[in-house]
Amino acid sequence: MLLRRGLHDAAPVSGGSTTDLHKLLYSPLLTPDAPAAEDPVAARNALQAALSRGGKKRPVNRLHLPLEEKIAPLASLVGRALTPGEPLTLEKEQIVHILQTADEGLENALYDYADTVTQRYFGKKIYFRGIVEFSNVCTKDCYYCGIRKHIQVKRYSMSKEEIVNCAIFAYESGYGSLMLQSGELPTDKRLAFLVDTIKEVKRVTIEKDKERNGVKEGVENKSLGVAISLGELTKDMFRSLREAGAHRYLLRIESSNPDLYAKLHPADHSWHRRVECLRELNELGFQVGTGVMIGLPGQTLGDLAQDLLFFKSMDIDMIGMGPYICQKDTPLGKLWQEENSNLDTKRYNEKLFRLSTKMVALARIICGDVNIAATTALQAINPQGREVALNQGANMLMPILTPRKYREDYQLYEGKPCIDEGAEECRSCLKNRVQWAGKELTLHDWGDPQHFFSRQNIPTPTRQ
C-alpha cells in the first residue's frame, strides 16, 4: 500500500525522529487523567486540574510565586532573563526540547509565559468567529479527511438564505465575524454563489448595525467581518472574494514538511501550490491564516518545530491547529487503527493533548500578536480542552452556526463535538467556557490581530 509505505518512509527533518514522537505519545503516562465535568463548579475544578498538566497537582504555593520565579526554567533554557509579554526567538533545537520534555517546571513556565504574551496583545479578551460549514462537496481526496471526494457521506450545500440567516444570528449574538467554510470546489458557479452571498451578508449586517447603533455623521456602520476557508483557488478567484468583502482566509498547510505532506495526499495535491496560495492571499490584502495537524503518523518533533518556524517565516496572521484525530473511513484512519488496535485511547489522548497545548503556547511565544484559535478538536480529546488552551496562548473560539440538520455530514474527524447541538446551545456553552477560563468575551468586534496592521504598516482601526 503506497500510503503505508509512504508514511513510514517520510523523511524526518533535523531535530527529531519519528521514533521520538512515537515514544512521546505512546509511552506509559506518569499522571492520571483530568476529570470531566458538566456543571460550572465542577468544570472550574476540572479546569484547574487540567491546567496542572495532566492532572498532577501544582505545588500549592506556586500560584503565589513571583512571575519571575515561575518562568525561570524557560529563562534558563533560552539563556537570558525574560521580559513578560515579549515574544521570543527560539532555535529549532530549543523547540524540540520543549516539545519532548517531561519537566513539569519547564512546562508550567512555558504556559505561564505564553499567557503573558497573550495578555500583552489581547488582555483577557476572547473573540468569537461563528463558523458556517456551508457545503461538504469537495474535489480533493486528502487521505485523512472525513469529507474527501471518495468517502460515503451525504453531500449537501446550504442556500444563500440559510447562510444569511446564520449571519443574522451571529450579528444578533454579538459575534464579531463569520467564517464560511466548505470543501474545495473551484468552479465559476461556486465562485459566483459565494460573491453574491458575501455581499448579501455584508449588506444585511450593515443594516442590522444601523438598527443597533443608529447612523451617525462621520461614523461608519460596520458589518460582520467575513472570513473564508475554501481550499486552493486561483489568484483571480481569491481576488474576486476579497473584492466581495471577505477579508480573512484560512488555508491550513497541515504540515510544513513537503515530504510528509506528500504522504498524506494523492499525487495531484501539491504542497508547493498550497504555499503559493498563502503568498497570493497575502499579496491580495487578506489576513492570512494557516495551521497544522499534531501527532500525524510519520511526523517528527522536528517537523512540529519547523511548523512553528514556518508560521513565523510566512508572517501568518492567524493560526488554527489541533491534534490529528482518526477518521476511521479514510485511508490514513484505517492505517492508524491497524497500527494502534491495542492502544489505551484515554492515555494516548492525554499525551496528545499535552503536546497540542505546548504547540499552542509555543506559537504564541514565537509569533506574538497573531490570532490563535482554541480549536474544537482539543475538546474532542479533553473535555476542558478549549478552556485550557485559552489560558495557554489561544485568544479565539469558533462556535458552530451550521444548522443542526447538516452537522453530522461535516465530520472531518471522529468524535467531533457539538454535532447534536444548535447554534443557541453552542453560543451558551462557549460563553460559559470563556467564563470558566477566567477570560472576557468581547462582542461586536472583528478582533483583527495587531500583526496584520503592523505588517501592512497601516493604523489599527479604532472600531473594528
> Phi and psi for 346 in degrees, rounded to 5?
-60, -45
The alpha carbons of the chain give a radius of gyration, in whole angstroms, of: 21
Digit-coded pLDDT (tens) for 2-31? 455 455 444 444 456 655 676 677 654 333
Question: Domains, the chain, ranges and CATH?
Answer: 119-213+221-456 (3.20.20.70)
Cell of 267: 499525487
> Residue 60 — very low, low, confident or very high, per pLDDT cuts 50/70/90?
very low
The helix (run of H) or strand (run of E) holding residue 131 is: strand 125-135
> For residue 19, what pLDDT is reported?
55
> For residue 216, what pLDDT is reported?
85
Digit-coded pLDDT (tens) for 260-282? 999 999 999 999 999 999 999 99
Q: What percent of the chain has pLDDT over 70?
A: 86
3-state helix, strand, coil in the chain (%, to 5): 50, 10, 40
Q: Is 25 helix (H, G, I), strand (E, B) or coil?
A: helix
Digit-coded pLDDT (tens) for 410-455? 998 887 777 777 778 877 888 888 998 899 999 999 999 999 999 9
Question: Cβ of 41: how many Cβ atoms within 10 Å?
Answer: 9
Cβ atoms of 116 and 363 closer than 8 Å: no
Report the DSSP pairing between strands 322-323 and 293-294. Answer: parallel
CB hemisphere CA count around 313 (13 angstroms): 9
- Rounded mean pLDDT of the chain? 88
Digit-coded pLDDT (tens) for 368-397? 999 999 999 999 999 899 999 999 999 999
Ordered DSSP codes for 346-401: HHHHHHHHHHHHHHHHHHHHHH-SSEEB--HHHHHH-TTHHHHHHTTT--EE--B-
Question: Cβ of 88: how many Cβ atoms within 10 Å?
Answer: 17
Nearest C-alpha neighbor of 86 from the set 77, 75, 100: 75
Ordered DSSP codes for 188-255: HHHHHHHHHHHHHHHHHHHHHHHHHH---TT------EEEEE-----HHHHHHHHHHT--EEE---B-
Query: At which residue does the C-alpha cell 476579497 appear?
Result: 242
